[in-house]
A and B are shown apart, each in its own frame.
With several copies, the nearest count.
Chain A
Amino acid sequence: MQVKIALFGITKEIIGASKLNYQLSEKADVNQLLSSLKADYPALQKLTSLMIAVNDDYATPEQTLSAHDEIALIPPVCGG
């Protein structure tokens, strides 16, 4: 399946876009997505942390993804 991933902050610079169309096996989970992205974009491995948000919530590593999900890559946050 193909998912759309929103990119912010340093991940936008690492990947070079604010939206990424990304190919994943059917029923891939969050862990698989992170591993795959870190393999494709090794600079992601150097970040202090890297989370996945699904539909405006932090996702658990085992959470299964679907093509309709609103997925975002969340590098270390730093508001305030």
Chain B
Amino acid sequence: MIAITEEPINTQAVIDAVQADGAGAINVFIGTVRNQTQAKPVIQLDFEAYDSMAVKKMQEIADQATARWPIQKVAIVHRKGALQIGEAAVVIAVSTPHRKASFEACEFIIDTLKQVVPIWKKEKFEDGDVWVAAHP
């Protein structure tokens, strides 16, 4: 399961997608909307995605992880649109025979996703909006 969605992410469905009889470990990462950035209160987050390229890049990252760790199954779902505090922006699930690989692979996936997947985040504060990371 590799997808961009405008609906709230169903975390349980993402986890269910990596169930495998040979898996002894599932690691799940959920990126949620925090109520602040550098101590400034955030009201809302808007995520924009270049859907076709984002899905292609997420699939490439999943393939890279699978080449490097003994992954049974992997799922990556990223949300776009307007998100409220506490909502999940991304859910990643990885199943492996043993636990260490599940942690390593899941962390690799979120770290790489943040570097290469064409998704943008605009933070809405009381005094205006900021495209995160756009400016030095």
| Contact between A and B in the complex (any CB pair below 8 Å) | yes
Residues of A within 8 A of B (CB): 6, 8-10, 12-13, 46-48, 53, 56-58, 72, 74-80
Question: With A and B bound together, what is the CA distance between A10 and B110 in angstroms?
Answer: 23
Question: With A and B bound together, what is the CA distance between A76 and B130 in angstroms?
Answer: 13
* CB of B109 to closest CB in A, whole Å: 10
Q: How many residues of B contact A (CB 8 A)?
A: 31
Contact of A74 among B31, B99, B118, B135 (CB under 8 A): B118
A77 touches B114 (CB 8 A): yes
How many residue pairs link A and B with beta carbons under 8 A? The number is: 81
A79 touches B113 (CB 8 A): yes
A74 touches B131 (CB 8 A): no
B134 touches A79 (CB 8 A): no
Question: With A and B bound together, what is the CA distance between A13 and B130 in angstroms?
Answer: 11
| Nearest-neighbor residue (CB-CB) of A47 within chain B | B134
| Nearest-neighbor residue (CB-CB) of B78 within chain A | A79
B90 touches A8 (CB 8 A): no
Interface of B is mostly: mixed
What are the interface flags for B9-40 relative to A under an 8 Å C-beta threshold, 1 for contact and 0 otherwise?
Answer: 00000000000000000000001000000000
B89 touches A57 (CB 8 A): no
B135 touches A77 (CB 8 A): no
Contact of B121 among A13, A47, A79 (CB under 8 A): A79
Contact of A79 among B52, B56, B117, B136 (CB under 8 A): B117
B113 touches A75 (CB 8 A): no
Residues of B within 8 A of A57 (CB): 53, 56
Question: With A and B bound together, what is the CA distance between A48 and B113 in angstroms?
Answer: 18
A47-B119 contact given A80-B31, A80-B89, CB 8 Å threshold: no
